Amino acid sequence: MNDDYPRETIRELPRERARLGFTARVLARLDEPGTAPARPRRAWALAAVLALCAVAAVGGLRWQAENRAHRRAETARAELAAMLREHARLAAELQALRRDSGPRSPVVLVGGDERADLVIDLGRLARGGPAPEPGIRRTSSPFVR
């Protein structure tokens, strides 16, 4: 097979010719004002609309993320404020208990049963007084007679 065969075959084909007056008509249309094709303008308008939609979508997603973060931060602040209020209330209650109870001597629960508990006050032992007598504390159970 010859390498020049395709070239020769193409040269043998009849040439396509433009119709009479084609060049003159094209040049006349280019010289007319306001007859430029509208397709490039439409393409630019479409590109601008798509870009605007993309910017709006990204902005909306960013706003949602910031709004979600803001709500989480507000919830965390509210929970922290509640914890601080509860801490202050417990601290005040503990202070009141310490103030109302005064100095107490240690007491030991030695034993007991359903009807009575055997309790020894160790403060009397530390003061060197007479040997303490065991105290009996009765329970306030409705079953005790």
> Could you report the per-residue pLDDT of 31-69, keeping only the tens digit for each?
777 655 556 778 888 899 999 999 999 999 999 999 999
pLDDT of residue 64: 92
List, in order, residues 6 or more apart from 142 with CB less than 8 Å away. Answer: none
* pLDDT tens column, 101-134: 666 667 778 887 887 877 777 776 666 666 556 5
| Exposure b/e, 118-140, CB count within 10 A at least 16 = b | eebbeeeeeeeeeeeeeeeeeee
Confidence at 3, pLDDT banded by 50, 70, 90: confident
What is the pLDDT, as a whole number, of residue 116? 81
Cα 138 to Cα 113: distance, rounded to the nearest angstrom? 10
Mean model confidence pLDDT for the chain:
80
pLDDT at 145 > cutoff 50: no
The confidence score (pLDDT) of residue 55 equals 94
Report the C-alpha gap between 114 and 138 in whole angstroms.
9
